[in-house]
Amino acid sequence: MTSEVLEQRPFRRAVVSTSAIAENVRSLRARFAGQTVIAVVKANAYGHGAVASARAALAGGATWLGVADLNEAIELRSAGIDSSLLCWVHGPNTAFEYGIAKNIDIGVSSLAQLEAVAAAVARLRLGNEAGPVTAMIQIKCDSGLSRNGVPSDQITSVFSRARELERAGVLRVRGLFSHLSNASEADDREAIAAFAGIVKMATDAGLEPDLIHIAASAAALSYSAEDLVVLPVNAVRLGLVIYGLSPLEGVTSADLGLRPAMRLEGTVLNVKRVPAGAGVSYDYTYRTAGETTLALVGLGYADGIPRAASNSAQISVRGRTYRIAGRVAMDQFVLDVGDDTVDVGDTAVIFGDPNDGYPSVESFAEACGTINYEIVTRVGPRAYREYTTE
């Protein structure tokens, strides 16, 4: 039984504007004219809902989609989304043949993964009467982040083996990519120079990738003309920004001409008048200063409201903001609304578009000691995704 059946409108809601996502992508396409836009919809589209967000991004003009793992990619294919699609985080026993059969580009970060892709092609070719099977791969190289990607001392051997497999018709290297740290301008310039060298190594090995990309949202917005001269890139991976959020410190969504796509709402479930000195929620970390009204909101840390929001984050009800009073619990938190009128059934907005008068996700994240990426991504599945074109 679904929440729609049990309630006229679920009391936990992530209201997502697909129009905002499409508009943001359209705006970003204009900004990165000449670059292939890869819209990143991993982690359930940063909490916004993968399938609906992917469709909105494609409607806005993205020509590629990016996800983390093969399960996320298969979810999109199962929903009928047949656009170009890349996934790049894999477990040691990933069955790559499922991705290859669904025309999904496999991001390869090691020689072992390259051989696993080749083995998957061999399995698919057994008994296949429809013609030869060829895998499409994109090789991810570590240019200084020390995370996923082929390490520098293995790049030559991976490129050489990839070229052998290309000649044999087993696979095609469609892309070459990396990732920047955003630690400092100097660090990123060093990584850019390293990646430029990697691109030359690929060319020297006989590889001819169609897509070359290193920049995610923050780096893409920070590219300088000098960087683009040094770096032969032709694609950008855009994640956070397509949802209308800024990856840059001190720069707002409005500054970038973007519109936040998500508004997280809870419903006031209980209202009570309490005397001065009343303890509120676990551990009584908050006690009322005087007689006051408390409003209970039906969202908690199971829904992505960090416990760190306790006694700090500001929530909007009826156009006024109130600080969370006491500990955030698993399913609920409390607001001290003083003598204001708040009723059961009122909507509490945790964050939304500041242009609509709501707290920003950045202000909420700051109160929790974290970043906007984490806040939207951790919105849990109990929060019903309600899609609008507003």
Show the domains of the chain with their CATH numbers: 18-243 (3.20.20.10), 262-388 (2.40.37.10)
240: nearest Cα among 265, 268, 226, 221: 221
200 is catalytic: no
Q: What percent of the chain has pLDDT over 90?
A: 84
**For the range 197-206, what are the long-range contacts, defined as Cβ-Cβ under 8 Å and sequence gap of 24 or more?**
198/141, 198/143, 198/155, 199/231, 199/232, 201/155, 201/156, 201/159, 202/139, 202/159, 202/173, 202/176, 205/156, 205/159, 205/160, 205/162, 205/163, 206/163, 206/166
Average pLDDT score, the chain: 93
User: For residues 238 and 218, is the Cβ–Cβ distance under 8 A?
Assistant: no
pLDDT the model gives residue 76: 98
- Residue in 42, 140, 223, 322 annotated catalytic: 42
Give yes or no for residue 1 having a pLDDT over 50: no
Nearest to residue 286, comparing CAs of 353, 333, 233, 240? 333
Residue 330 annotated as binding? yes
- Please give the helix or strand (H or E) that residue 271 lies within, else none: strand 262-274
Least confident of 186-190, 269-273, 323-327: 186-190
Q: HSE, CB side, 13 Å, CA atoms: give it for residue 162.
A: 36
Confidence band (pLDDT; 50, 70, 90) for 288?
very high
- Catalytic member of 243, 282, 284, 301: 282
Is 282 a residue of the active site? yes
